[in-house]
Structure 1
Amino acid sequence: MGRPKAELVLTDDERETLTRWARRRTSSQALALRCRIVLESAAGATDKDVVARLGIEAHTVSRWRARFVRDRLEGLSDEPRSGAPRKITDEQGEEVIVRTLEATPKDATHWSTRSMAAEVGLSQSAVSRIWRTFGLKPHLVDTFKLSKDPQFIEKVRDVVGLYLAPPEHALVLCVDEKTQIQALDRSAPVLPMMPGMPERRTHDYVRGGVTTLFAALNTATGEVIGQIHPRHRAVEFKKFLARIDKEVPAELDVHLICDNASTHKTAAVQRWLAARPRFHVHFTPTSSSWLNQVERWFALLTTKQIRRGVHKNIQALEKDIRAWIKTWNEDPSPFVWTKSADEILERLAGYLNRINDSGH
């Protein structure tokens, strides 16, 4: 006859919760099945009936019925499984972190997993796990440059204000030049990529000359006005301004975000701007190219077209650049600026505090 089963009686709240869990789309299949087992059993069905209706094994029914009787709703979740005991103590983990942050090996400027493992007596994989857990990457280094512009704060607020709250009836254009773009041809033909083998090219190259790209990025739409010149002087910059003046509708003001290059501030350029009052120039702080969005677009151009491009001469290079700009403008993508001026300045203040505290 077997042992008598404990009576399974549901409260109204339990029945409602089990029904909701069994029908909810986000419930796991395992949890939904356990809920249906309990509901069927509570309705008076025998274990054999539940097995037949749900198409499961008898031991599954008895197991989850008993778990629910013992632990109610909490019993339907998976019990935690015991894993292997920890082999690395908290003290060992702390030693790795402290040494990584506060010391360097005798024969190098930074730690590797191998050198740290030899230092603390752990395996390389253990050191690697500790570093990943705490986001430590001794092999990486970032660079930065602090601006010494006395008007740094005012210029940051001015430029960021244009990004986050552009004026009405106006266009905001990020303007800059990408100079010294080289037309490089490899000394031997490029070998194309094949299964199991990357594209291969010679490490040496033949120079075919240089060119300069003037670009203006529309911060609202992502569209780019581009113009190529062989040289980078104020006269070429003034020609580019004339191109912008021609392409932007006459009823719109034009706000130009530029860096502090001398070509942007010559007397000829200033006279040209003074004769066109709808143009307003906003200069980024010195050593702050990251504030000009067109620099991000230049990075895309370099990555997708220039760096791996093969060009026998300047004409071929300029043709590919113009084609890339045309393709970009067919489906432009603006860069969304999210940081406020206050957030940028607060983060900079954090850097300055860290530098002061470092003792350098």
Structure 2
Amino acid sequence: MQSLYNNPPKDGRVICLDEFEPLSIQPFAGRGWFVKRKPSRLPATYHRTHGVRHLLAALDLKSDKLYGHVSNSKKHQDILRFLKVLRRRYHRSERLYIILDNFSPHKHERVRNWAVENNVELVYTPTHASWLNRIECHFGPLRKFVLSGSNYENHKALGDAIRAYIRWRNKHRRNASLLREQKKIKVV
């Protein structure tokens, strides 16, 4: 895996893929831009009546672009759907080297068969070493800039905020505060 990072293959791209924690509609403590003396207050209690969602995310190391999809679940069908979307972004002759952890849906037979048929090589991190996946350091800034100090009304609003953040992040990849947050999470 380290060789994929240090010496990317000439015949394709290295893409890091992972899921970001269950997203629930709840107040998140944190700092925000509040009018002096009249900050929005977070409720003391909340009820999880909306269920949870999952962010499937990928980072193209060559272009340094982040991609994401909010999903109701993270079963092998969801992973496969996201992989198909990623595959369509690149020419079929370009091999995709997808780095992911040992989560069982990543290793499902349908996912592995699809990868073989579509010029995709699945590269798994060692067990208990998901920190080797370079996408991990991008979840810290997402947590800070989207979740911290928030209280979204529903999953649509949360999903819209995540998509807006990803668009902003891809346009401002060298932003100092973004890079500072990324460096807080150590990945190889």
Aligned mates of 2:111, 2:73 — CA distance in 1: 16
Aligned mates of 2:33, 2:19 — CA distance in 1: 33
Counterpart for residue 164 of structure 1: 6
Aligned mates of 1:280, 1:274 — CA distance in 2: 7
Counterpart for residue 144 of structure 2: 303
Q: Which amino acid aligns with 2:142?
A: L
Whether 1:327 and 2:168 are equivalent positions in the alignment is yes
Decide whether the 8 Å contact of 2:27 with 2:149 is kept in 1: no
Decide whether the 8 Å contact of 1:237 with 1:263 is kept in 2: yes
Listed as ranges, the gaps of 5+ residues in structure 2 are none
Which residue among 258, 270, 287 is the counterpart of 2:128? 287
Aligned mates of 2:45, 2:137 — CA distance in 1: 28
Count of aligned residue pairs for this structure pair: 175
Q: Which amino acid aligns with 1:241?
A: L
SS of the equivalent of 1:184 reads: coil
Q: Which amino acid aligns with 1:320?
A: A
Decide whether the 8 Å contact of 1:192 with 1:200 is kept in 2: no
Q: Describe the superposition over 1:180-204 as per-residue Cα deviations: whole angstroms up to 9, x where unpaired.
A: 1112258xxx993527x97653443
Counterpart for residue 97 of structure 2: 255
Counterpart for residue 77 of structure 2: 235
Aligned mates of 1:322, 1:246 — CA distance in 2: 19
Counterpart for residue 201 of structure 1: 42
Q: Which has the larger radius of gyration?
A: 1
Instruction: Report runs of 4+ in structure 1 exceeding 2 Å deviation.
Output: 190-193, 197-209, 331-336
Aligned mates of 1:193, 1:290 — CA distance in 2: 38
Decide whether the 8 Å contact of 2:42 with 2:151 is kept in 1: no
Structure 1 residue 308, shift from structure 2 partner? 2.1
Decide whether the 8 Å contact of 2:15 with 2:97 is kept in 1: yes
Decide whether the 8 Å contact of 1:191 with 1:200 is kept in 2: no
Aligned mates of 2:98, 2:150 — CA distance in 1: 31
Which residue among 316, 339, 352 is the counterpart of 2:157? 316
Counterpart for residue 19 of structure 2: 177
Structure 1 residue 170, shift from structure 2 partner? 1.3
TM-score, structure 1 normalization: 0.45
Q: In the superposition, relative to structure 1, how do residues 238 and 191 fare at CA in structure 2: closer, same or farther (>3 Å)?
A: closer
Aligned mates of 2:33, 2:21 — CA distance in 1: 29
Counterpart for residue 54 of structure 2: 212
Q: Which has the higher helix share?
A: 1
SS of the equivalent of 1:298 reads: helix
Q: In the superposition, relative to structure 1, how do residues 273 and 191 fare at CA in structure 2: closer, same or farther (>3 Å)?
A: closer
Q: Which amino acid aligns with 1:319?
A: D
Q: Which amino acid aligns with 1:216?
A: A
Decide whether the 8 Å contact of 1:174 with 1:216 is kept in 2: yes
RMSD of aligned residue pairs (Cα, Å): 2.7
Q: Which amino acid aligns with 2:4?
A: L
Q: Which has the higher strand share?
A: 2
Decide whether the 8 Å contact of 1:179 with 1:212 is kept in 2: yes
SS of the equivalent of 1:215 reads: strand
Aligned mates of 2:25, 2:42 — CA distance in 1: 16
